[in-house]
Structure 1
Amino acid sequence: MNKPHVLNELVESKDKGEQKPVTPRAAEQDKSATPSANRLPRQLDDSHMPKDFSISWDSYKRGGTDHFLSQKPAHLKGHSMKGFEDEYVNIIDYIIRITHRIWEEGDIGYIYDTYSHDCNVWDDVGLHVGRDRVVAGTARTLNAYPDLRILGDEVIWAGDENVGFHSSHRSYIMGTNTGFSEFGPATNKPVRFMCIANCVMLENEIFYEHVMHNTASLIQQLGFNVFDVARETMEKHGADKLPRDFISSEPFRVPGQGKPAMLALEKGAKLDIRQFIKAFYQNVWNRRMLRSLTDFCSENILYQGPTERTYQGLGNYKSWILSLLSMFPDLTFSVDDIYWMGNDASGFLVSARWSAQGTHLGNGVYGKPTGKEIKLVGISQFRIQDGLIQQEWSIFNEFGVITQLVS
């Protein structure tokens, strides 16, 4: 069995004389912004989930990139997309080709055609409102990494032209830092990191997006210490520009002096994906019933997570869970959004967006306990086969967690 493998362990800098990066501009999020109520996405029900993989990333990429990136794909199954450009055959085609056109071909202005003027974009820093911010951020990133490439790895989708299409696009971003970035002057270092972007679209426009970048890994690959960057960020921008109504609180995991609830896991001829994922987070993470991992996960589960963490096998996956629970003993998860595609015979691909809250009371990769309350937000994708999770890809705001701890 492979041992847990972490590239570039997150450790604090001991050499105070080493080069420090310029404070990142990532804290420029619009803290006064609030989502527009009439632009919130509608919740999907089970009828909105694709029942097979006839429209999927696997079917899309067949035949090589010449068949889809440079032209309208002729080999794809389509579906009705009211209000979208005729150029796009299905929602995966839309996501892949607008990403390629904007980021790799450099048509930054195409954002004006594919994002709504009042779009809400959440990232690992906070909420950004309006497509002008998307345009500006894209220009800054392409200036920093002119040879940037986005390699698609998966697209999970659901919904339709009436309730909105939902997509979860997992990709690997590659480039060389030859221009000024949010972290300072060019380092001439190559970078490669995972990203998961969950978008909601209607009539050719993305109006709601949650995107998670492996920011801590990016900082390390540029040659900087993550804790130093986090401290500089907090020294310049402060821990929070808005006053807190309370200093800390107890996450609602245990009602009073009671015990956390256990959710029933019913496994029959058909797997209830919504119930399965919610039970996984509640029973394993919130109830701490780690023996129940065998009810949810394959013994050979493969996990890929933030800062290049790659764990193979249930024992290593369990150790990863314990490492978080030991650092944040009151950690509590909630599932904020979930959709999937597939069936029991072919398996399922699932996107789950979640949030968590806990208090830093234990030793671990984030240093000595600070007693500070932290908030995590993340996106996970799962491949489920034969009623068990075979693979998981997860990104959460790890750099955001560190900034909360050093503030």
Structure 2
Amino acid sequence: MNDVDHLTEEKSEKGVKTYESIVHYGDSNEVTRVGYSDYNEFTKNDKRSQSMEGFDKDYRDIVDYILKITHRIWEEKGIGVIYDTYHNNVSMHTGSVTVQGINAVISGTLQTLHAFPDRNLIGENVIWSGNDKEGFLSSHRIASTATNLGDSSFGLATDKRVFFRTVVDCFVHSNRIVEEWLVRDNLSIVKQLGYDPVEVAKKLASESKTKSFQLGAGANETMDGQFSPKVYASDQEGFEIGDFTLQLYNSIYQRRLFNEVKHYYSETAVVHAICEQDLTGHQQIQSMLISLFASFPTSKVMVERVTCNDGQLENEWDVAVRWTLQGLHDGIGYFGQPSGAPVTIQGISHLKVRNEEVVEEWMTFDGLDVLRQIYLESEEG
């Protein structure tokens, strides 16, 4: 159930309002926060702060689990850790493509490390919810630096240094990742390597054996008959972070009320968009959103998951939002001239909300996968 107008309210044991299946909360006091701690110091504390029943004793809480396995797999090159921490039938969603099974995870990791063997991963934040009985959901934002020392699906090795962000959502149960949503800024990587993104996208499209997994994207799904997008109606009194987030995405993303940016974002808010774009202030944020939606003017946006943790400061929240845009590339905008191709964009955004306004946002999606879908249509035609 994704539509924000079909929400079921329930009360948690602590009496905090939650929105079943969409908005979830994690208590930051239960975990070791990601902050200024050096990884060498971070890993010395072995006292458990969560029960973590069913997990290896090495992991003291869900944040520790995510940071440790990421470090061991990627930086220590412990590829075999995947066999112990991923479900054999794991589902991994990367952009518009879904792959199944642990062997696909092993293969993808090896291919990436072959191309970028010195990749350094900095965990900027882990936003989480859940427990060891029903399972955890984590949203891990990573900043990476790496040198392209090996050939990749993008092309031959360039020896160039790159910086890029990745956000990974995981559903974890009993020490294993059961489902993963991985969003990497591949468009930024390709540009930094000096390749032509269009040519790389055409190459990837021609190499696609089957059409990418589409979540029903097309003309029939963009509008419900002739009805406009529904308005999220809230009976919440006062500020509540989950309610605030759902209202923001309904107003700006689903109903295209870009004037509402001024209502939800602080005057000096910064949005870290793809391709290393840092947008400051209402006007720049509005311009980026208008350009993006101009490429997909009749698209539909679905909010799939909202995860909320209280922040370091008073009246501050860290929020992860996983969303999907689907529709037709039938307008002139961020992705150039319209092609009419059906497109699915999987995005994950991290918001820092302070004093009832967004003060900083990290908006991540795979722009190269969007181009691949656009040129996939021409390859199949």
The TM-score, its normalising length taken from structure 1, stands at 0.81
The alpha-carbon deviation at position 147 of structure 1 amounts to: 1.1
Contact 1:124 1:212 in 2 (8 A): yes
Partner residue of 1:34? none
SS state at 1:288 partner:
coil
Higher strand share goes to which structure?
2
Kindly provide the amino acid, as one letter, of the partner of residue 145 in structure 1: F
Kindly provide the amino acid, as one letter, of the partner of residue 240 in structure 1: K
1:275 to 243, 249, 253: 243
The alpha-carbon deviation at position 168 of structure 1 amounts to: 0.5
What is the CA RMSD across the aligned residues, in angstroms?
Answer: 2.5
Kindly provide the amino acid, as one letter, of the partner of residue 303 in structure 1: V
Distance 1:296 1:245 in 2: 29
Q: 1:247 to 1:135 in 2, by over 3 A?
A: closer
1:180 to 142, 151, 158: 151
Contact 1:297 1:388 in 2 (8 A): yes
Whether 2:225 is the aligned partner of 1:249: answer no
SS state at 2:201 partner:
helix
Partner residue of 1:350? 319
Contact 2:167 2:184 in 1 (8 A): yes
1:118 to 85, 89, 104: 89
Whether 2:358 is the aligned partner of 1:389: answer yes
Whether 2:33 is the aligned partner of 1:57: answer yes
Q: 1:45 to 1:275 in 2, by over 3 A?
A: same
Whether 2:349 is the aligned partner of 1:380: answer yes
CA deviation profile, 1:191-233 (whole Å, cap 9, x unmatched): 1100000011111111110010111111112221110011122
Distance 1:245 1:147 in 2: 35
Distance 1:202 1:236 in 2: 35
Alignment of 1:140-289 (within 5 A): 140-237=111-208, 240=211, 248-253=218-223, 255-264=224-233, 268-271=237-240, 273-289=241-257
Q: 1:85 to 1:241 in 2, by over 3 A?
A: closer
SS state at 1:89 partner:
coil
The alpha-carbon deviation at position 375 of structure 1 amounts to: 1.7
Q: 1:232 to 1:310 in 2, by over 3 A?
A: same
Contact 2:321 2:349 in 1 (8 A): yes
Distance 2:335 2:106 in 1: 34
Contact 1:251 1:330 in 2 (8 A): no
Kindly provide the amino acid, as one letter, of the partner of residue 339 in structure 2: T
Contact 1:72 1:87 in 2 (8 A): no
Partner residue of 1:97? 68
Partner residue of 1:73? 45
Partner residue of 1:362? 331
SS state at 2:26 partner:
coil
Q: 1:364 to 1:266 in 2, by over 3 A?
A: same
2:259 to 263, 283, 291: 291
Kindly provide the amino acid, as one letter, of the partner of residue 199 in structure 1: C
Kindly provide the amino acid, as one letter, of the partner of residue 388 in structure 1: E
1:139 to 110, 131, 134: 110
CA deviation profile, 1:151-206 (whole Å, cap 9, x unmatched): 11111011000111111100112111112222333211111100000011111111
Distance 2:217 2:291 in 1: 25
Distance 1:54 1:106 in 2: 29
Distance 1:105 1:245 in 2: 36
CA deviation profile, 1:344-365 (whole Å, cap 9, x unmatched): 9442111111111232233233
Distance 1:341 1:222 in 2: 36
Distance 1:350 1:127 in 2: 25
Partner residue of 1:30? none
The alpha-carbon deviation at position 77 of structure 1 amounts to: 6.3
Which sits farther off after the overlay, 145-154 or 278-287? 278-287
Kindly provide the amino acid, as one letter, of the partner of residue 98 in structure 2: L
Q: What fraction of aligned residue pairs are identical, expressed as a percent?
A: 30
Q: 1:340 to 1:108 in 2, by over 3 A?
A: same
Q: 1:245 to 1:282 in 2, by over 3 A?
A: closer
Distance 1:49 1:112 in 2: 29
Contact 2:295 2:336 in 1 (8 A): no
Q: Which runs of 5+ in 2 are unaligned?
A: 1-19, 377-381
SS state at 1:256 partner:
coil
Q: 1:246 to 1:175 in 2, by over 3 A?
A: closer
Kindly provide the amino acid, as one letter, of the partner of residue 110 in structure 1: V
Q: 1:252 to 1:177 in 2, by over 3 A?
A: closer
Distance 1:405 1:44 in 2: 32
The alpha-carbon deviation at position 44 of structure 1 amounts to: 5.5
The TM-score, its normalising length taken from structure 2, stands at 0.86
Which sits farther off after the overlay, 188-197 or 285-294? 285-294
The alpha-carbon deviation at position 92 of structure 1 amounts to: 0.8
SS state at 2:275 partner:
helix
Q: 1:125 to 1:373 in 2, by over 3 A?
A: closer
Kindly provide the amino acid, as one letter, of the partner of residue 79 in structure 1: Q
Distance 1:315 1:54 in 2: 39
CA deviation profile, 1:13-59 (whole Å, cap 9, x unmatched): xxxxxxxxxxxxxxxxxxxxxxxxxxxxxx7576x622445625346
Contact 1:72 1:88 in 2 (8 A): no
Distance 2:345 2:215 in 1: 19
Partner residue of 1:14? none
1:405 to 349, 374, 377: 374
Q: 1:147 to 1:200 in 2, by over 3 A?
A: same
The alpha-carbon deviation at position 370 of structure 1 amounts to: 1.8
Kindly provide the amino acid, as one letter, of the partner of residue 87 in structure 1: D
